[in-house]
Amino acid sequence: MIILSLNNLTKSFGGLVAVAGVSFEVERGDVMGLIGPNGAGKTTVFNLITGASRPDDGHIFFDGRRLERLKPHRIVHLGLARTFQTIRLFPRLSVLENVLSGAHCRMKSSIISSLLRLPAQRREEKAALGRAMAELRFVGLDGLWRAEAGSLSYGDQRRLEIARALASEPKLIVLDEPAGGMNERETLELRDLVARIRAKDITVILIEHDMSFVMEVCNKIVVMENGAVIARGSPDSVRRDQRVVEAYLGADED
């Protein structure tokens, strides 16, 4: 079953065409890697999917809904969560509160019930705390729930971003360079984490430069260059693709 499909997506900034007619599909249960040289347009594609910017042309279908005119929070509400390439936690708030920010869109208490602390609001608050703690345990940060998010190590901050995204109960999670800045041990743990996210029946798309990581965790890969898709398929087929090799290593001029 196709959960996400991009149809001829185009986006330019001024005269620069960042994404030129990109189309691909993601099936439910996939772990899809989006790779390509710097400036290929990968993050722009992510920003279009998550509503951070609007495409000039083309369509995005997610779970039977069109996304390209929706605000980011609506897209999260539909079940598509993201992490940011440059970490964007709330650094002065606690680890627990950062995860609660993801749970926010699944909570229903109104302003009035919050102002008067009605019983239903208190029940919901308690349930949300439990859920947030469960997500922290899932990524292995439950011992740090009181800490200030900005005080965590780089790798822990990346995992906290993932916990925050998971707290919004997504069907699909979009990870922008999750292994960026991680050491070898942390990357190994991340590989395990992605596998466990997949086991929860959550589809994953990720951008990553660490090729061995991508080849290990992804069952499908899309390669972009200069704003266009140049190859797609299984890790093995992509590895052997002549155009991919040229894009990464440079074409032989003769």
Q: Name the residues that contact other proteins, by CB under 8 A.
A: 50, 52, 71-73, 76-77, 81-82, 84, 88-94, 96-97, 100-102, 104-105, 107, 109, 111, 114-117, 121, 125, 128-130, 133, 137, 142-143, 145, 164-165, 168
Contacts of residue 174, Cβ cutoff 8 Å, sequence gap at least 6 = 46, 49, 50, 80, 81, 82, 83, 205, 206
Least Å from the CB of residue 112 to other proteins? 10
SS3 content of the chain, % helix, strand, coil (to 5): 45, 25, 30
Beta carbon nearer to other proteins, 111 or 199: 111
Least Å from the CB of residue 105 to other proteins? 3
Q: Cα–Cα distance between 254 and 244 in angstroms, integer?
A: 18
Contacts of residue 63, Cβ cutoff 8 Å, sequence gap at least 6 = 3, 4, 78, 79, 171
Least Å from the CB of residue 220 to other proteins? 25
Beta carbon nearer to other proteins, 204 or 221: 204
Residue type, 85: Q
Least Å from the CB of residue 140 to other proteins? 13
Question: What's the burial of 125, exposed, middle or buried (CB within 10 Å: 0-12/13-18/19+)?
Answer: middle
Q: What angle do CA 109, 125, 107 make, to 5 degrees?
A: 40
Beta carbon nearer to other proteins, 130 or 250: 130
Residue with tokens 């894009």: 247
Beta carbon nearer to other proteins, 97 or 216: 97
Beta carbon nearer to other proteins, 17 or 134: 134
Least Å from the CB of residue 144 to other proteins? 10
